[in-house]
Chain A
Amino acid sequence: MISGGHDTGFNKLKTINRRMFIFSAAKAVIFFGIVGRLFSLQISENKKYLTLSDKNRLRETRLPPIRGEFKDYFGNTIAGNLKVYQLHVIPEQVEDFRSLLIRLRDILKFDNKTLSKIFAKKKTQKPWETIVISENLSWDEFSKINFYLHELPGAKPVITVGRSYPYGESYTHILGYVSQASVNDLVNNKVIKERNVPGLRVGKSGLEKKFENELIGTNSIQRYEVNAFGKRINQIDFKEGSRGQTINLTIDTEIQKLTSDLLRDKAGSISVMDIYTGDIIAMNSSPSFDPNLFLYGIDEKLWNSIKSDPLNPLLNKTVSGLYSPGSTIKPIVALSALENDVIRPDKQVKCEGKVEMYGEKYHCWKKKGHGFMSLKNSIKQSCDIYFYELARLLGVDRLSITAKKFGLGTKVLGEYFENEKEGIVPSTEWKKEILGQNWYLGETFITGIGQGYIQTNPLQLCLMTAQLANGGYKIYPKIRVGQNQKSYESIKRIMKENEMEAREEAKEKDNALIKATEEFLKVEKKEHQPLYRNPENIKFVLDAMFKSTNEIYGTSYSSRIDDPKYQFAGKTGTSQVKRITEEERELDLDISQIPYKNRDHAWFIAFGPYENPRYAMSVLVEHGGSGSKAAAPIAQKLMRAVVDRHEERTKRNIMV
């Protein structure tokens, strides 16, 4: 059969050629469509797609920033960064993960629980993500790993940086500690959120938390090219971050360590302050704990034991603990009485051990009574009867004004410690406002001996002592070495000038008490303003405190130091934590017979050296019994050390 006749063959060819032509036209249209599309993607929208492709392939990794250090006054590092030896494994690079781990277990001797934890972790990660087998290897373990490294394919010994507190528990209450950033940290602090990377350690309490934004430093940034599965292919670029700021404190580590020793096995607090510059030389709270434990997550048992310790190691008692000041308030009560011309210093009151006023019995700590007392003697021997009378004459409102002037009832360090408490300096107004009740006169009496509503923290008492000891001038306590630190000499000069001024004004407006209070508002703006009306009143109180420590019958006589280099003045305090019933008073129990929780708090405030005082301190021993037996001996040891360090500190002053 031939391929159709001429006619049909011709028609067939005509059809196919015509249709092919139509096709070709369609093809040309489609072809230009495709070219147009290519043009629009590759030429018109090239920039957009280039950006998208870079976004696809480039990843930034931020490395943990290097945290700033804390240094003490002498430049010793008290919170630093330590080389930490770690062991990392990248599962992808290991041929036989299980046998590697078993070999590592034999070398490092970790238990099976840890082993199964690592296996569990491996399952949750991508195979090229690092598993940290051990966060903190000892040098011995680290060198052992390096020794066996040839038979541990895939194991990577790594040296990184971790926080270290070389003085352990001594600084815990000041510095706080660092640990892994929590969700709360990220929510509350934008800087942390910005710089957060897995494994970032941030301050959890104390100054580590307070200065977080200065300490944290900035991240180093690595730019990597990654593939579609997120695996790093190669490093493109590395931008080094800056280290966090170093923060210098006014603390002297030598003294700080000593305070730890002095408070060992006790609950309590010690503060030491320069009475002119306001530098806090030492500040400790006991018991404490080792902040290094928190770096890699503390184990639960230990944490629970710290949390449930009845002596409360987590509380910074120096700023957050509130106590009745007891007899340590007496210098202020006496000063207030003198300043307000309530009594003359030679006023006599007979102490018979107890007194009945307005139908209520009030007791002196000395059951037999002190006999006839003058004001000075009543401070020296801490006679309660005299101060009931004094308080009665003075009234709580005038007392509260003086007490507040000298630093009670307000935060000492302001915002440095987020848990600092301001305490309570009661007044009739305060009671009306807070408790909605009228003030009873009986409450005035016990306020006069530092009991009742009045509450202070140990640092406030230290500041109060310092402001008395420097002659009655306001000082500005600080724990961080500031930018424009005034020298002792210039502060002393300012105080001297202020004194001259005050004396002249006093001469002019001797009797004008009202005007004097007006003046008070004016001098408020002055630096290191005088807190007294008459400087002689301060001298009187300081002399009484000197006698209390250095004359026989003084309450802290047994803790005195005769060497004038160290000689100090002080005032004991014994604050009741519980009302003593008549029966208990009759029993006259020895301290060991009273349950711990009911024992009195022992207080001692002191300043020295007496001839030319520079330092003030407060010592608290919780439930330690009497101030003279439990607290004063501590102050005695501490004063020696503080005075001994004075020369070093002065030298350092000049250098700073």
Chain B
Amino acid sequence: MYSNFSFTNQQTFFQKLRSIDYLLLICILLVGSISCFAMYSTDGGEVLYHTKNHAIRFALFFTLMLVISFINIKMWFSLSYLFYGVTLILLLWASLYGITASGSQRWINLYFINLQPSELMKIAIIVCFAKYYHRAQIHSINKFTNIFVPLVILIIPIFLVITQPDLGTSILIALSGIMVLWLAGINIKYFVIASITFVISAPFIISFLKPYQKLRILSFFNPDRDPLGAGYQIIQSKIAVGSGGLFGKGFLKGTQGYLEFLPEKHTDFIFTLYSEEFGFLGSLLLLILYVIIIYRIINIGMISRSYFSKLFCYGFASSIFIYIAVNMSMVLGLLPIVGSPLPIMSYGGSSMLATMIGFGIVMSSRIYNNQIIS
């Protein structure tokens, strides 16, 4: 069955160009430009530092995405473990020699960019698992080694990130990894056992949290407990979103934003700024764009012939969804505040780089969707 189609491996450039998923590409471009406008607004209606950097990065990484797209998926398959390994080393490097900012040691100074390896790890873990399970037989998936090895692969980076400390990213890495494990077909009973264990051990985990993290959880349950302290961010972001109304306050007219009431308005809270200015309709538009992106990625996974591509696309789509869901739930006061950027929208080079690499691999899966990986 497979051998019939093996000739399609040799496509012309024109064919490759035609097989690009243009809807996905356009949606990415749209979200990218929305993010540039939002950044422009955070700069107070001027093209300043954040806007400039964000636009340049978007352009640069978008190009990188295209480059990745045109390279055969086989190549990415063979580089998977290397990618994971390098990212792990970078993570280790960051833990040892990284730059410390706001109490967390998570960046590596690469002179042209301050790289946050934990962001890359979000992608690396998916790539790595995709390759691992590509080779695994269905009946051996629930064998001890096939569970134990991926768990080690997952737990090492989580441990490194959690000690930076960076609770948000480590949770996201964990969620991405667990979802891929689920998709790969690990028996449902392990997940049930794991979640029961988690619920029971939650109080112990909480006791290991830093005081500020505990405060955040407490203030999530009752923001008015300390309205100027830990609850401040939740209250202010809810005010920003809520006061936006149906049509929003208008571009560059979000008072919560330009009067500095919004915390972290460039990064984690960028959605609240956007939502304040463009209202419910604007927010819905952005959500729909994200939904289309996720849908297209799943679609690419469905038409991919190789298991690697399939697992990666499904995993990546699920991760993107999780990032968006966690970020939005957090700024809308549905989840405690943990640091988690909104893909493409949030300011931050590493997050954008990781996302674009992911899109690149997805796109490569699309172009080489008939490629058989042996």
A interface with B by C-beta (< 8 Å)? 1-4, 6, 8-9, 11-13, 15-17, 19-20, 23-24, 27, 30-31, 33-35, 37-39, 41-43, 45-46, 48-50, 52-53, 56-57, 225-229, 233
Contact = CB atoms under 8 A, between A and B. Distances in A.
A290 B51 CA distance: 63
Given A12-B185, A38-B284, A20 B243 contact: no
B314 A16 contact: yes
B80 to A, nearest CB: 15
A225 to B, nearest CB: 7
Contact of B259 (A17, A35, A43, A56): A56
B195 to A, nearest CB: 14
B185 A42 contact: no
Q: Which residue of A3, A13, A24, A48 has the most chain B CB atoms within 10 A of its CB atom?
A: A3
B307 A42 contact: no
Interface of B: 1-2, 134-135, 137-139, 179, 182-185, 236, 238-246, 255-256, 259-261, 275, 279-280, 283-284, 287, 291, 294, 298, 301-302, 306-307, 310-311, 314, 318, 321, 325, 328-329, 332, 334, 372-374
Nearest to B334: A37
Contacts of A46: 242-246
Contact of B139 (A8, A16, A35, A227): A8
A3 B373 contact: yes
19 contacts: A4-B138, A11-B138, A16-B185, A20-B314, A23-B179, A33-B334, A34-B328, A37-B332, A41-B238, A42-B275, A45-B242, A46-B242, A46-B244, A49-B238, A50-B242, A53-B243, A56-B256, A57-B256, A227-B260
A15 B138 contact: yes
Contacts of B275: 38, 42
A56 B307 contact: no
A604 B174 CA distance: 102
B331 to A, nearest CB: 10
B239 A53 contact: yes
A interface: dominant SS: helix
A57 B239 CA distance: 12
B255 to A, nearest CB: 5
A234 to B, nearest CB: 11
B314 A42 contact: no
Contacts of B179: 23
Nearest to A52: B239
A49 B239 contact: yes
Nearest to B244: A42
Given A16-B183, A23-B183, A52 B243 contact: yes
Contacts of B135: 1, 3
Contacts of B245: 42-43, 46, 50
B1 to A, nearest CB: 8
B300 to A, nearest CB: 12
A120 to B, nearest CB: 27
B374 A2 contact: yes
Given A4-B137, A16-B311, A57 B261 contact: yes
Contacts of A233: 259
Contact of A229 (B260, B301, B325): B260
A8 B136 CA distance: 10
A27 B294 contact: yes
Contacts of B372: 3
A38 B243 contact: no
Contacts of B279: 42
Nearest to B135: A1
A225 B255 contact: yes
A11 B244 CA distance: 49
Q: Across chains A and B, which 10 residue pairs bring their CB atoms closest together, nearest first?
A: A49-B242, A53-B243, A15-B185, A228-B260, A227-B259, A42-B280, A41-B242, A49-B243, A11-B138, A46-B245
B6 to A, nearest CB: 12
B183 A19 contact: yes
B261 A20 contact: no
A2 B306 CA distance: 10
Nearest to B302: A17
Contacts of B236: 56
A52 B259 contact: no
Given A24-B298, A46-B245, A34 B310 contact: no
Contacts of A4: 137-138, 307
Given A12-B138, A53-B243, A226-B259, 5 more contacts: A12-B185, A15-B138, A23-B183, A38-B332, A227-B261
Contacts of A50: 242-243, 245
B374 A42 contact: no
Contacts of A226: 259
B49 to A, nearest CB: 19
A228 B287 CA distance: 29
A15 B372 CA distance: 20
A358 B287 CA distance: 114
Contact of A3 (B185, B238, B307): B307
A15 B187 CA distance: 10
Contacts of B280: 38-39, 42-43
A56 B256 CA distance: 8
Contacts of A2: 2, 374
Contacts of B244: 42, 46
Contacts of B255: 53, 56-57, 225
Contact of A16 (B242, B310, B328): B310
A226 B255 CA distance: 10
Contacts of B334: 33-34, 37
A24 B241 CA distance: 27
A414 B138 CA distance: 105
Residue of B236, B242, B246, B279 contacting most chain A CB atoms (<10 Å): B242
B234 to A, nearest CB: 12
A41 B298 contact: no
Contacts of A17: 302
Contact of A34 (B183, B185, B325): B325
A318 to B, nearest CB: 56
A20 B314 CA distance: 7
